[in-house]
Amino acid sequence: MMHVPLLDLQAQYATLRPDIEAAIRRVCDSQQFIQGPEVAALEQELAEYVGVQEAVAVSSGTDALLMALMALNVGPGDEVVTSAYSFFATAGVIARLGATPVFVDIDPATFNIDPDGVAAAVTSRTKAIMPVHLFGLTARMDRVGEVAARAGVPVVEDAAQAIGARGPAGAAGAAGALGTAGCFSFFPSKNLGAFGDAGLVVARDRDLGHRLRLLRNHGAERKYVHALVGGNFRMDALQAAVLRVKLPRLNGWTDARRRNANRYRALFEEAGVLDRVALPAEPAGARHVFNQFVIRVPDRDRLREHLTRAGVGTEVYYPVPLHLQPCFEALGYRPGRLPEAERAARETLALPVFPELSIDQQAYVVWSIRERLNGAAVVTDGSTTAEHTSTR
């Protein structure tokens, strides 16, 4: 039995260890642990990478979302239109500000928010629209942007999983640079991961960037003088130093993830199971960065149990859609209201796709899935394949 983890951060660290340790020593020698030159340099490098004027480093991806909404004065009585299928922070930050999340169903092929649903959900109380670029694929920002422009409301991109992603051919810009503000997470499992929590808010407007910087540091214009009520959303210099080591490698890691995704497609086709396994969609011209490689299968839970026994790491993102979370029960959503989000919650399964994944590991993942679906396993020596009856 082969062991295939969902993510192998140790393999990545092994290639970076001397540079990471040198960066950490640099911060330790400086004794500047909050903000400072490391954070300022990272902000400049990330602004250039994303293609924006303003990049504001913060304490987490969740705080990035929260701070972006705060900068746009979202508060009690307001509504924010967002996806029903995402990590909890997407909706949690809306509720924390006293606003109401208005959940919209998803496109079943891409798992991203349905633009027609966004148009139907906008009301006079809508203060912002928050699309999610889920799993590393950008939402239909052209159509979301049209809805937002007609309504006269800003767009906050939840790009936590999508740094470096681009939309279909003709889309102007990268994920995070397509709306009013873009929010990223550098949680360790992300394509660009820190050694703990860290995040980023980007914007094209300098005035918005200035407001974000104030909010990050308790709204202070200068020490002990507070123009706004903000929070402690500052990034640690140690996290910035680690991210600065990793950022130059990001495009190479993304290329490796995309290579692995393409290899999965070929392996699943070879295995003859594409009638029972739906693979991730990638619209023509788009650049999916595959923070996750998420398949869809009807009997997801049993397949996951089988893969666990076979030594393959998987994860379910997300088993309870946001509109059915207990904390949002008072909003009145009931099962069946947003059927595609609910179906995705039942049927999706993330497979290993990290850059260091080997060909043999990917083949083992696919053949293990085939074993569950067909009741037979496939053994390969790299040149031939042979079926045998499963003994598991």
Residues 29-58 pLDDT 10s: 999 999 999 999 999 999 999 999 999 999
User: Do 148 and 82 have their domain in common?
Assistant: yes
Query: Which are the contacts of 110, defined by CB distance < 8 A and separation ≥ 6?
Result: 134, 137, 139, 281, 283
Indicate if 119 and 91 belong to the same structural domain. yes
pLDDT surpassing 70 at residue 387: no
Number of domains in the chain: 2
In a domain? residue 4: no
pLDDT at position 305: 97
286 and 234 in a common domain: no
pLDDT at 278: 98
Beta strands in 65-210 (DSSP E): 79-83, 100-104, 126-130, 156-158, 181-185, 199-203
Answer whether 73's CB lies under 8 Å from 128's CB.
no
Taking 50 as the threshold, does the pLDDT of residue 212 lie above it? yes
Burial of 365 (0-12, 13-18, 19+ CB in 10 A): buried
pLDDT at 381 over 70: no
Neighbouring C-beta atoms of residue 309, cutoff 10 Å: 12
Determine contact, residues 102/121, Cβ cutoff 8 Å: yes
Q: Same domain, yes or no, for 235 and 144?
A: yes
User: Does the structure show a pLDDT above 70 at 391?
Assistant: no
Last residue of a domain, one of 187, 216, 248: 248
Does 228 share its domain with 276? no
Q: Which of 139, 138, 118 is nearest to 128 (CA)?
A: 118
Is the pLDDT reported for residue 385 higher than 70? no
Average pLDDT over residues 279-302: 96
Which of 248, 265, 291 is the last residue before a domain boundary? 248
pLDDT of res. 173: 86
Q: Is the pLDDT of residue 382 over 70?
A: no
- State the residue range of the domain holding 268: 250-389
Sequence-ordered alpha helix ranges (H) in the chain = 9-30, 36-50, 61-71, 89-96, 115-121, 141-151, 206-216, 237-246, 250-271, 300-309, 339-347, 359-374
Asked whether residue 3 is assigned to any structural domain, the reply reads no
Instruction: With cut-offs at 50, 70 and 90, classify the pLDDT of residue 384.
Output: very low
Whether the predicted pLDDT of 296 surpasses 80 = yes
Asked if the model's pLDDT at residue 228 lies above 80, the reply is yes
Q: Answer yes or no: is 103 within a domain.
A: yes
Q: Note the pLDDT of residue 162.
A: 98
Q: Give the whole-angstrom CA distance, residue 283 versus residue 8.
A: 28
Rounded Cα gap, residues 11 and 357, in angstroms: 9
CATH number at residue 348: 3.90.1150.10
The more confidently predicted of residues 167 and 253 is 253
Could you give the CA distance from residue 197 to residue 291 in angstroms, rounded to a whole number?
Answer: 17
| The last residue of a domain, from among 214, 248, 282 | 248
Q: What is the pLDDT of residue 195?
A: 98
Q: What is the pLDDT of residues 160-193, one digit of tens each?
A: 999 999 987 556 789 999 999 999 999 999 999 9
pLDDT value at position 168? 79
94 has pLDDT over 60: yes
Q: Distance between CA atoms of 139 and 102, rounded to whole angstroms?
A: 17
pLDDT of residue 281: 95
Sequence letter at residue 221: E
Both structure tokens of 381: 């020596």
Look at residue 117 and tell me if it is in a domain: yes
Percent of the chain at pLDDT > 90 equals: 92
In the prediction, which pLDDT does 169 show?
Answer: 58
Q: Tell me, what CATH number does 46's domain have? A: 3.40.640.10
For the chain, the average pLDDT equals 94
With respect to residue 74, please indicate whether it lies within any of the assigned structural domains.
yes
- Of 15-19, 159-163, 219-223, which gets the smallest average pLDDT? 219-223
Single out the residue of 2, 12, 14 nearest to residue 354, CA to CA. Answer: 12
190 and 301 share one domain: no
**242 located within any domain:** yes
Q: How confident is the model at residue 376 (pLDDT cuts 50, 70, 90)?
A: very low
Q: What is the pLDDT of residue 326?
A: 98
87 and 182 within one domain: yes
pLDDT band at 221 (very low <50, low <70, confident <90, very high): confident
pLDDT of residue 170: 53
pLDDT at 167: 87
3-class secondary structure, 166: strand
**358 and 213 inside one domain:** no
